[in-house]
Amino acid sequence: METLKSSTLQLRQLTKRYSNFEAVRNLDLNVPSGSLLTLLGPSGCGKSTVLRMVAGFLNVTSGEILVDGQDISRVEPNFRDIGMVFQNYALFPHMTVESNIAFGLKMRGVSKDEQAVRVRDVLEMVQLTHLADRYPSQLSGGQQQRVALARAVVIKPKLLLLDEPLGALDRHLREGLQAELRDLQRKLGITSILVTHDQDEALYLSDYIAVMNGGCIEQLDTPIALYDRPQTEFVARFLGVPNIFPSKVVSKSEGEVVIELGGQKVVVPTTEAKPVGSDCKISIRPSHIELVAQDDARMGLVSVINSAHELGERIVYHCEVGGHKIEANAPRTSNSARFAVGQAVKLLLDPAHTILLRD
Ligand code: ATP
């Protein structure tokens, strides 16, 4: 199957209200053509509501859904040209794999000959040619989900919507299918939205990730930027950053502020206009803190080690700085330095990854 002419999706001031509860609030979002954008966030933040409005299963309260600049928010779901994959496969149990995949083409009046060619191509793509005559009940969960994916893309949709598509599969199978899904989406170039709870899945599959909180987008970024530079406390916590500290700005200069942490000073690069004396919060991932001996000449936080655990490829140190608990990770290689519990050390915070969180 050839690459599609990719569409763009824009959501403008999209709002969904259930009586007086706003599940989605004035949401603006651009999904560039051919890219995969993930809506990530805790249960109840509004991810599925956005997806269901784009699919047309839910009416919008206000706002616009633009595909290639055309507002489709009042168009019936069947006429939106959208492929969908759900967590629970939703295959027709009484139809073979081949008929399941051909169904959408038949409904669109595609000729029998073309149906056969397109079904054959897509079956090859998801490596299910040998199972074309089976019924869904005769397939594993992973195979059923590949049929669901084939059925969604065979109609050459303008958009592909993926609602927790791998959520019902065990971890091993899920990882295999993530790679397949990513390859297929890139190969076909279908503009796609994925909804997931699983941040590893989002980081692996996405071109962009929108983290949602209370019906709004809290941060939209590439996976790497989001992982390295969460901008708010909510995003940092959601992405599992353990080191988040309340602090105060003690001085500032061009492009940076100096904050106080447990009675010691830390330089944090920022473009935010934070006045001296104001409260702030900083975050840093454990892998961005280097542990060195206390007599090291470099600038760092004087600290003491409370615990040390060897975990797979890393050593996890829990340290303390003036009453603040700080986690630092070191690679567990044969020549890496080991620090003992109770030992005084210095923590070097990588300035590029020390983040002054937005209020
Ligand atoms: P999950 O990950 O658990 O599926 P979600 O982020 O997809 O969560 P939504 O299903 O979009 O969340 O729901 C967003 C909010 O809207 C939730 O607080 C939910 O309780 C509420 N909600 C959803 N459907 C309705 C409804 N029909 N009537 C009232 N409130 C609703």
Lowest mean pLDDT among 51-60, 168-177, 250-259, 339-348: 168-177
- Token readout for 167 is 């959520």
Distance (Å, rounded) from C-alpha 198 to C-alpha 192? 17
Residue having the nearest C-alpha atom to atom 19 of ligand 1: 44
Boundaries of every domain in the chain:
9-236, 252-356
The answer to whether residues 205 and 182 touch, using CB atoms and an 8 Å cutoff, is yes
- Token readout for 227 is 């992982």
Q: Confirm or reject: Cβ of 87 under 6 Å from ligand 1.
A: no
Q: Confirm or reject: Cβ of 92 under 6 Å from ligand 1.
A: no
What does pTM read for this prediction?
0.90
Q: Write down the pLDDT at residue 234.
A: 96
Instruction: Give distance in angstroms: CA of 265 to centre of ligand 1.
Output: 44
Residue having the nearest C-alpha atom to atom 28 of ligand 1: 18
Domain 252-356 has CATH 1.10.260.40: no
- HEC letters along 212-231: EECCEEEEEECHHHHHHCCC
Q: Write down the pLDDT at residue 175.
A: 83
Ligand 1, closest atom to CA 24? 14
Rounded to the nearest angstrom, the gap between the alpha carbon of residue 297 and the centroid of all alpha carbons in its chain is 40
Distance (Å, rounded) from C-alpha 31 to C-alpha 67? 10
DSSP string, 259-293: EEETTEEEEEE--S-PPTT-EEEEEE-GGGEEEEE
- Each residue's pLDDT tens digit, 15-69: 999 998 999 999 999 999 999 999 999 999 999 999 999 999 999 999 999 999 9
Q: Write down the pLDDT at residue 333.
A: 80
- Each residue's pLDDT tens digit, 276-308: 999 999 999 999 999 999 999 998 999 999 999
Q: Write down the pLDDT at residue 5.
A: 67
Element (H or E) spanning 317, and its range?
Answer: strand 314-321
Contacts of 206 (CB under 8 A, 6+ apart): 36, 37, 38, 194, 223
- Each residue's pLDDT tens digit, 150-163: 999 999 999 999 99
Element (H or E) spanning 245, and its range?
Answer: strand 243-253
Mean pLDDT of the chain: 92
Instruction: Give distance in angstroms: CA of 47 to centre of ligand 1.
Output: 8
> What does the pLDDT average to over 335-349?
89
Q: Confirm or reject: Cβ of 23 under 6 Å from ligand 1.
A: yes
From the candidate CATH numbers 3.40.50.300, 3.40.50.720, 3.20.20.70, 3.40.91.10, the one assigned to the domain spanning 9-236? 3.40.50.300
Instruction: Give distance in angstroms: CA of 39 to centre of ligand 1.
Output: 14
